Chain A
Amino acid sequence: DGGITQSPKYLFRKEGQNVTLSCEQNLNHDAMYWYRQDPGQGLRLIYYSQIVNDFQKGDIAEGYSVSREKKESFPLTVTSAQKNPTAFYLCASSFSGRPQHFGDGTRLSIL
């Protein structure tokens, strides 16, 4: 079955630590996206990538970094510079200009 796989489902970060969230898709989609969702709020765009080896900042990119070395993979690193990382992180992918498909998310918490 085609889809988007996010891992891990739950992740804990210690003070000063960088952590990386994985997002893999086998839908052959060109574009991939990372969103952050806080309780009772909608999704906010962190980073997005339209093609391999290229990505753009979204609305809340500070404290995050990404890479897009392969079409099917778009990992998100939450750096120690992100002072309030506790949130639900969602990855999505799409053909350019087409509706986005979402993974099941990673919940990040602070230890």
Chain B
Amino acid sequence: KQEVTQIPAALSVPEGENLVLNCSFTDSAIYNLQWFRQDPGKGLTSLLLIQSSQREQTSGRLNASLDKSSGRSTLYIAASQPGDSATYLCAVRRETSGSRLTFGEGTQLTVNP
């Protein structure tokens, strides 16, 4: 059974800092890994999707890396801003689970002005 863990559970940083969020998964037979953002009381917004054959994806100030063999992914946020404050979730799609996703518990990020 696939398990996904995110560390830390919460993170508070001053504005402008670069930061890293971590995601680990137990079954390396994944099809892809996705990072989402969730604002309070809202649904999920997809940030980055990394296919199993890729090592990283970038979008603006966000960079996500994937090391399938070690079961790890990181989301790097450069020059953090107060508007980045949200919960960040990672989810993996297994090779054998069709479209089903397994989610981590999320990291709640607060960027202080």
| Chain A residues engaging chain B, CB cutoff 8 angstroms | 4, 6, 31, 33, 35, 40-45, 48, 50, 58, 88, 90, 92, 94, 96-105, 107
Contacts and interface: CB of A to CB of B under 8 A. Distances in A.
Contacts of B9: 40
Given A50-B98, A50-B99, A102 B104 contact: no
Interface string B22-58: 0000000000001000000111111001000000000
Contacts of B43: 4, 6, 90, 102-105
Nearest to B103: A42
Nearest to B105: A42
Contacts of A105: 41-43
A62 to B, nearest CB: 18
A42 B104 CA distance: 5
A93 to B, nearest CB: 10
Contact of A45 (B46, B100, B105): B100
A43 B101 CA distance: 9
A24 B55 CA distance: 35
B103 A43 contact: yes
Contacts of B103: 35, 42-44
A1 B13 CA distance: 36
B91 to A, nearest CB: 8
A31 B41 contact: no
B66 interface: no
